[in-house]
Chains A and B, each alone.
Chain A
Amino acid sequence: MKAVAIGIDAGSTTCKGVAINSNAEIIASLVQPVEPLIEVQAQRCIAELRQRCGAGNNVPVAATGYGRKRVGADRAITEITCHARGAFHHTGKAGVLIDVGGQDTKVIHVGSRGEVVDFAMNDKCAAGTGRFLEVIVQRLGVSLEDVAKRVEGTDRIVKVSSTCTVFAESEVVSLLAQGEPLDGILRGLHTALANRIGALAGRLKPDVDLIMSGGVALNSAMVKALGTTLGRTPRVVPQPQLVGALGAALLVSFVSEVPSPSSTPVPM
């Protein structure tokens, strides 16, 4: 089926793109590490998506994420509005969306029409964001792919008290020097991050569906840590990294106000 819209999410860590058809299904997608020249990378992504689904230049493009204004798209929409719209597409009802990205952690109260009712975000630092885990895990010499396995394979939680990326890094170094086990420290880091996100989520209504998107949602250990902190595990939407780009494409295409039955959230 033909592409009706393209969405580009030029985030702080990765650049994501989707093309959707008139049923609001993703027919092509890509995820790439973000490059310094966002405008060049975004144009290359758009061209690739057009080519992969045979879309012409008349297919509208919407951009979101921190680089949204440099993409040269038909519309630039904030990631808050796009994530809400993308997540609503999967759930079809009001809920609280937790999106943990590279630079921002957003807790968005999504209304019954997919609109943003309210949102809360992290302070202007890396505490409580994907960057926090990325920096420290890198410092520990663990690959991001192995993190969840290591955390889920240990019962030990070594307490990490700081969520400041700079302070936590030195705290972790000193914990290692004290002979604390690496996996236990990793689990402690997940708990510290979950507590930080939990404090944000606590500002929003507690009695609605809890859903999760963003790259960090791919880390099952983080989802479980959040579940422990919040008292209920958030449901991760399919392809959580693409939710912002999907929302952007939906908002520029005006298709599918009704969620497709194939995109029911994956129960945890």
Chain B
Amino acid sequence: MITRRLQYELAGRAVGPLLLTIERWQKKLKRRQPRREGPFGPPLESTQKLKELMSLHYLQGRYADGAVPVAWITSGFPVEMLRPFGFHVVYPENHGALCGARRMIPEFAEVAEKEGYSHDLCSYARGDIGSVLSGKTPVGRLPKPDMLGCCTNICQTVLYWYRSLAKYFDVPLVLIDTPYVYGESQPHHIDYVRDQLDELTVTASKITGKPANSETLHETLQLAREAAELWAACLATGKNRPSPWTGFDGFIHMAPVVAMRGTEECNAYYRMLLDELNDRIARGIGGIRNERYRLLWDNLPIWYKIRELSSTFAEAGCNFVCTTYTNVWADPAKDLDPAAPVASMARAYSNILLNRDLNNRMRIFREMVRDYQIDGVVLHSDRSCKPYSVGQIDLKRLITEELGVRTLLIEADHADPRAFSEEQVETRLQAFIEGFT
């Protein structure tokens, strides 16, 4: 236990930073190739720091089991409850996005499909289960969990997915069930979720052998609220003309607010990113060189096509200045209250975008189209994310009729390229772009 803890601390505090310093020096020593004049503005300098932050997070994770308690949780799980108990937290969805961007999902998904998991299931679920069964991952190793945490505020699939994981790892699964919110969440909804959060405290305490610590929880909530506020401020810089970054940059830079929310490292990173974005605004630097049309992206990104898609649009002077997905991690800022941590978390995590009705989705479109001066909306109908994709045809019609902006619906999958028809999607995108020019 002590040796393992030492390895874990060394990985995070000494070996990891040392390796990253060496890598930085190697990069500096390498002769720089002159950068090709592309459609994008100068790259964000913070990206290097982001890579280091996430690399360190995954490197330390390799040595976490046996050193500290480990929890695998869904992206919408109230992670703030776990931080005071010292959990190392793994996000299979974040790991899935990473695998998706590296085009490794088909390999992992096939392992899961051979075990009988339907190819109609979410590609994150198939990718994660396949990664667990095969023991393969692009991050070296994922620590074995002591606990699984699943919150139904993003979808119901996570429940069945985490049940499979619980059976495989033979560890407790904590379910936080959030009733779907039509209109506004009701007091009895909040009470119901709050009771489950109280139970979570008891379970986490049992697993870790540590008592609950209200002071640390208070501090964590403060950090989480600040993280959401900083992230919201970063996203809001896209309201400028030109936007200092692109929505696709946002998809990459959201990793810390998803996976490290409630930690000081996360907030320090976003302070740095916000400073850089504000500096770019002051100097008139755009995410793309020639921003002529401002677009909004709905739903998850197509991780394995981010580079190609962003280039196609950027070359035509189209910049995605905002996305509904990245906004999901900015939204809780208004609900999290360090003075009433559990009750405010019950509210914040019930009010997640995917747990609310289409009227709320339309309200967000209305505000974004107005505030970001949007010329067109691209809705990604994501085969793997049914809760996000259902209703998009109605939303598309409403956006066109009510907001008077051009819309496009494309069909793809966020992580599985086998469900992506390159030529057909490209034709639709090109036709959409031709409509502007």
Residues of A that sit less than 8 Å from B by CB: 66, 77-81, 104, 115-121, 123-124, 203
- CB contact between A203 and one of B393, B423, B434 (< 8 Å): that residue: B393
Instruction: Indicate whether B33 reaches chain A with its CB closer than 8 angstroms.
Output: no
Instruction: Indicate whether B406 reaches chain A with its CB closer than 8 angstroms.
Output: yes
In contact, B431 and A124 (Cβ under 8 angstroms) = no
Instruction: Indicate whether B430 reaches chain A with its CB closer than 8 angstroms.
Output: yes
7 contacts across the A-B interface (CB closer than 8 A): A81-B434, A116-B431, A117-B406, A118-B400, A119-B428, A121-B424, A124-B424
Closest chain B CB from A200 CB (angstroms): 11
Closest chain A CB from B428 CB (angstroms): 7
In contact, B435 and A124 (Cβ under 8 angstroms) = no
In contact, A124 and B411 (Cβ under 8 angstroms) = yes
Contacts of A79 in B (CB 8 A): 427, 431
Nearest residue in B to A116 (C-beta to C-beta)?
Answer: B435
Nearest residue in B to A77 (C-beta to C-beta)?
Answer: B434
In contact, A104 and B406 (Cβ under 8 angstroms) = no
In contact, A115 and B435 (Cβ under 8 angstroms) = yes
In contact, B427 and A124 (Cβ under 8 angstroms) = no
Bound CA span A115–B428, Å: 15
In contact, A121 and B428 (Cβ under 8 angstroms) = yes
Given A78-B427, A79-B431, A115-B435, 17 extra CB contacts under 8 A: A66-B427, A78-B431, A78-B434, A79-B427, A80-B428, A80-B434, A104-B424, A104-B427, A116-B431, A116-B435, A118-B406, A118-B407, A119-B431, A120-B409, A121-B424, A124-B421, A203-B393
Instruction: Indicate whether B397 reaches chain A with its CB closer than 8 angstroms.
Output: yes
In contact, B411 and A123 (Cβ under 8 angstroms) = yes
Tell me which residues from 415 to 437 in chain B have a Cβ below 8 Å from any Cβ of chain A: 421, 423-424, 427-428, 430-431, 434-435
How many residues belonging to B are interface residues under a CB distance threshold of 8 Å?
16
Given A116-B435, A124-B421, residue A78 in contact with residue B397 (CB < 8 A): no
Bound CA span A172–B414, Å: 36
Contacts of B431 in A (CB 8 A): 78-81, 116, 119
Contacts of B411 in A (CB 8 A): 123-124
Closest chain A CB from B430 CB (angstroms): 5
Bound CA span A151–B406, Å: 40
Contacts of B421 in A (CB 8 A): 124
Bound CA span A104–B427, Å: 11
Nearest residue in A to B422 (C-beta to C-beta)?
Answer: A124
Closest chain B CB from A106 CB (angstroms): 9
Nearest residue in B to A124 (C-beta to C-beta)?
Answer: B421
Contacts of A203 in B (CB 8 A): 393, 397
Contacts of B423 in A (CB 8 A): 66
In contact, A116 and B434 (Cβ under 8 angstroms) = yes
Bound CA span A124–B422, Å: 10
Contacts of A118 in B (CB 8 A): 400, 406-407
